[in-house]
Structure 1
Amino acid sequence: MTTLKKSLRIFKKVFFGILLFLVFYTLAAFSLSKITVNSDAAAQPKEVSIYILTNGVHTDLVVPIKNDIKDWSQEIKVENTKAKDSTAQFIAFGWGDKGFYLNTPQWSDLKASTAFNAAFGLGNSAMHATFFKSLTESKSCVKIAVSKDNYEKLVQYIEATFQYDANQNPIFIEATTYGSYDSFYEANGKYNLFQTCNSWANGGLKAANQKAAFWTVTDTGIFGHYQ
């Protein structure tokens, strides 16, 4: 009986510890995402158009495929997509857990082990690149005009996320994609409860001196500053 009581006490401590963590995590995620950084971004020169794009869960940073600052087509090859269509005008970048990206094309494919590894940073990360011919502004696709200097900073932020081979080319991942216009690449960093795909996108906006959340793990934490 004594052993049983000890086990129950341990279980209660673990249970309430997890519950307390979840409460603080939720409160922090909600409150810190409401704090705006770079609130003066609107006063900056508007020279390059970028976009933030969400599927309702995950945020991508969308940039021109080519301008006088960066030609992404030299590194992110359209030949790596099924479509092999060179008429696209924009490229979207999304960072995330490699196992989640490659093994969960649909939410119905999600395994507990994949979610656990992603939540606790036990896996590697990947960059998802998607080509677009055009974009339509909406609640889920917001256009942001930035200065050339700030766009260059965003480019550097995205570049630093990729892993490169000996020839300084992003390392392409042979994998099943979500459609005909996308591909995956090896990336730096570890996805976890505190650094999610949306945290990465939010970090890109910060790097480009654009409005962003102080910290967020959700797409709403980003888009709430652009309503």
Structure 2
Amino acid sequence: MTPFLRALGRGAAIAAALPACYLLAALILGLLPANRDARPAAAGVPVYLDSNGVHTSLVLPAQTAAADWKAQFPPERLRRSDRFGGAPYVAIGWGSRAFYLETRNWSDLTPGKTLAALAYDRSVLHVEYLWQAPANAGLLLLAPDQYARLADFVRRSAATDAAGLPRWLPGRHYDDNDAFYQAMGRYTPIQTCNQWVRDALDAAGARTALWAPFSQPLFWHIGH
């Protein structure tokens, strides 16, 4: 076998092993806790984790002393602000612009869009106003100071204009109750939508996974 073919074979073996190494690292670091000694607050601000099995969002009270999300993400930018302007909850998710804006349904997913998302894609925030928290969402309570840190993390995730307000993407919606905003950071296999939620919980000092590129590890540590 020529040196070229040997090198090609080694490269192929390494490429084949990378997905397995990625999944193993996600499992191990997902099981290991950050903020190991943190315990859920006995009372405080309810924070919900809502997941479709792939993507996780934070579901937060629309208005508290620490954060007025209606001022940050005005309901007037919804298609039906008359129906959802008074909603008491807001769901906020961070993720790949290509995934969010061009793959509303799994049938919209193409290899090109997948590669675009994994190749250091730009990010957006998806903001939805809800009349109630999702029935199957995970729940944790954060003390007021913890919630203030989480809210600050979320605010800093939005790209802002000269007035310091999140940059809205006009005309981008899934339904009548949502809007999109430009976000900070790039989507990569390391920094995923679920990792953003993990980082928000870590910023609050809540117990969470050391690394959570997938949604499941976020729920393993709730209630500990």
Same fold per TM (> 0.5)? yes
**Is 1:173 equivalent to 2:172 in the alignment?**
no
Task: Map 1:124-163 to 2 at 5 A.
Answer: 124-138=122-136, 141-163=137-159
Task: Map 1:162-201 to 2 at 5 A.
Answer: 162-201=158-197
Q: Distance in 1 between matches of 2:181 and 2:40?
A: 35
Indicate the residue corresponding to 1:108 in structure 2. Answer: 107
Q: Which amino acid aligns with 2:110?
A: K
Contact 1:137 1:143 in 2 (8 A): no
The percent identity for this pair of structures is 29
Encode CA deviations 1:49-100: one digit per residue, 9 max, x unaligned.
1111111111101111111111111120111111212121011110001111
Q: Distance in 1 between matches of 2:184 and 2:110?
A: 23
User: Measured at CA, do residues 35 and 11 of structure 1 come closer, stay the same or move farther in structure 2, by a change above 3 Å?
Assistant: same
Task: Map 1:1-227 to 2 at 5 A.
Answer: 8-42=5-39, 44=41, 46-84=43-81, 85-121=84-120, 123-138=121-136, 141-226=137-222
Where 1:46 maps in the other structure, the secondary structure is coil
Runs of 4+ in 1 over 6 A off after TM superposition: none
How far did 1:192 drift? 0.5
Q: Distance in 2 between matches of 1:99 and 1:206?
A: 26
Structure 1: runs of 5 or more not aligned: none
Structure 2: runs of 5 or more not aligned: none
Contact 2:40 2:141 in 1 (8 A): no
TM-score (norm 1): 0.91
Q: Which amino acid aligns with 2:162?
A: A
Where 2:181 maps in the other structure, the secondary structure is strand
Aligned length: 221
Q: Which amino acid aligns with 1:168?
A: G
Moved more, 168-177 or 148-157: 168-177
Encode CA deviations 1:120-163: one digit per residue, 9 max, x unaligned.
21x2110111111111442xx01211111000000110011000
Encode CA deviations 1:139-192: one digit per residue, 9 max, x unaligned.
xx0121111100000011001100000111100012442221111000011111
Q: Distance in 2 between matches of 1:175 and 1:218?
A: 29
Moved more, 59-68 or 36-45: 36-45
How far did 1:40 drift? 3.2
